[in-house]
């Protein structure tokens, strides 16, 4: 993600102020008065036309009360609110809090609650650094059920309704974020999307939407932030999305332009960064615009400009106190439940682990997708605390 700012000409302000000076002989004092005019008022239009510049020559004044009139006002309001947040460099997080949780019954993924639309609707979404698009079930043709014995009764799931949100709108095919224009009927038709994931026969498809994501600043005095973001209206899900994994949506945290962190940085809401941490108990946090500290350790990313991902180079693996030198690249993917390695790294790690385990190894079982399984003793079981 690349963060950049652009400033309007210093001669053109959001509110034009005309100053009129009057010297009044009243108690030997002076009174200054001024008039304020809205940027689209007739006075400002006349003033602008009389002082023709390159900006005003190209600028088309929208008709008051028209769709373009309110759209332009809303866009400028979002820019100003975004600048206000970014100027004080406060990190932001979801309005429901920055906590995340690993939920074993939902694919061992890390989840958090987000609020979307007006009025706000809550979604329990999986956090995924391995993909880019944020999507939720919407106008469902084939979605996971809202209630299921697989989830349990403690989860409250939702389905997004485009007609129920006063701030939601469908993204047209001429939008810069529309990647499947070849499937569009025309430039103003709704932009479709299709994404397939690594998990077998797992995908989501639908149309792109734009709506308000409800956020809050994390430091000082908490301030609510409404950010317009682009997301997927997931009409058809397949594979794991129909039962155990992300039944209420997936929050893509990748580096492409369509990801929420990229949008927030591009619109000036945050610094071009975010952070996540996961505790051993599965409880974690997520924060957008968090720059970290100077003392923290860093790992460089291997960024592919054609398709940037959080790819790193691994130089050593350690099991317990035994280390092995290796060299391979790996994708940091919070949307994958387990760590996957290929040889020779896999063999080095598994053999080192097996040599340190004191319990009896189980014979191969076709019902279990793991090669190394053990019968753990009640008193003498031991697992390397560090891998």
Catalytic residues: 128, 333
CA distance 102 to 109: 5
The alpha-helical segments, DSSP class H, found in the chain are 42-50, 54-58, 67-87, 260-266, 345-356
> Token digits for 55?
């900006």
The answer to whether the beta carbons of residues 345 and 318 sit under 8 Å apart is: no
* Secondary structure (3-state) at 158: coil
CA distance 362 to 18: 84
CA distance 196 to 239: 10
Distance from the Cα of residue 169 to its chain's centroid: 18
The answer to whether the beta carbons of residues 122 and 75 sit under 8 Å apart is: no
Residues 6+ apart with CB under 8 A from 255: 1, 132, 262, 303, 308, 309, 310
The answer to whether the beta carbons of residues 123 and 245 sit under 8 Å apart is: no
Sign for the CA dihedral angle at 348, 349, 354, 358 comes to: positive
| Helix H or strand E segment including 214 | strand 203-217
Sign for the CA dihedral angle at 151, 281, 125, 74 comes to: positive
Q: To which residue do tokens 């990801």 refer?
A: 259
Residues 6+ apart with CB under 8 A from 164: 117, 121
């Amino acid at each position: 993600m690349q963060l950049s700012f652009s400033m309007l000409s210093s001669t053109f302000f959001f509110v034009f102020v005309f100053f009129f000076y009057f010297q009044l002989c009243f108690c030997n004092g002076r009174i200054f008065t001024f008039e304020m005019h809205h940027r689209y008022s007739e006075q400002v239009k006349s003033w602008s036309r009389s002082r023709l510049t390159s900006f005003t020559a190209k600028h088309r004044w929208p008709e008051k009360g028209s769709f373009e009139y309110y759209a332009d006002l809303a866009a400028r309001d979002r820019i100003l609110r975004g600048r206000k947040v970014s100027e004080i460099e406060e990190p932001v997080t979801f309005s429901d809090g920055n906590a995340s949780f690993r939920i074993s019954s939902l694919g061992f993924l890390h989840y958090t609650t987000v609020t979307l639309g007006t009025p706000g609707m809550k979604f329990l979404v999986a956090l995924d650094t391995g993909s880019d698009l944020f999507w939720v079930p919407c106008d469902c043709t084939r979605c996971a059920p809202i209630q299921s014995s697989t989830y349990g009764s403690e989860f409250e799931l939702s389905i997004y309704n485009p007609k129920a949100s006063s701030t939601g709108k469908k993204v047209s095919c001429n939008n810069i974020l529309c990647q499947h224009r070849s499937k569009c009927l025309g430039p103003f038709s709704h932009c479709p999307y299709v994404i397939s994931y690594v998990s077998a026969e797992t995908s989501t498809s639908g149309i792109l939407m734009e709506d308000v994501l409800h956020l809050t600043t994390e430091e000082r005095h908490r301030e609510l932030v409404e950010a317009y973001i682009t997301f997927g209206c997931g009409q058809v899900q397949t594979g794991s999305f129909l039962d155990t994994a992300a039944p209420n949506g997936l929050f893509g945290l990748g580096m492409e332009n369509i990801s929420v962190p990229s949008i927030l940085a591009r619109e000036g809401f945050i610094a071009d960064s975010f952070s996540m941490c996961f505790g051993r108990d599965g409880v974690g946090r997520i924060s957008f615009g968090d720059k970290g500290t100077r003392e923290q350790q860093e790992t460089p990313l291997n960024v592919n400009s054609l398709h940037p991902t959080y790819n790193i180079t691994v130089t050593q693996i350690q099991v317990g106190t035994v280390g092995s030198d290796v060299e391979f690249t790996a994708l940091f993917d919070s949307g994958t439940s387990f760590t996957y390695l290929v040889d020779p790294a896999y063999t080095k790690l598994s053999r080192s682990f097996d040599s340190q385990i004191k319990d009896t190894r189980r014979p191969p079982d076709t019902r279990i997708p793991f090669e190394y399984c053990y019968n753990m003793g009640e008193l003498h079981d031991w697992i390397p605390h560090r891998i």
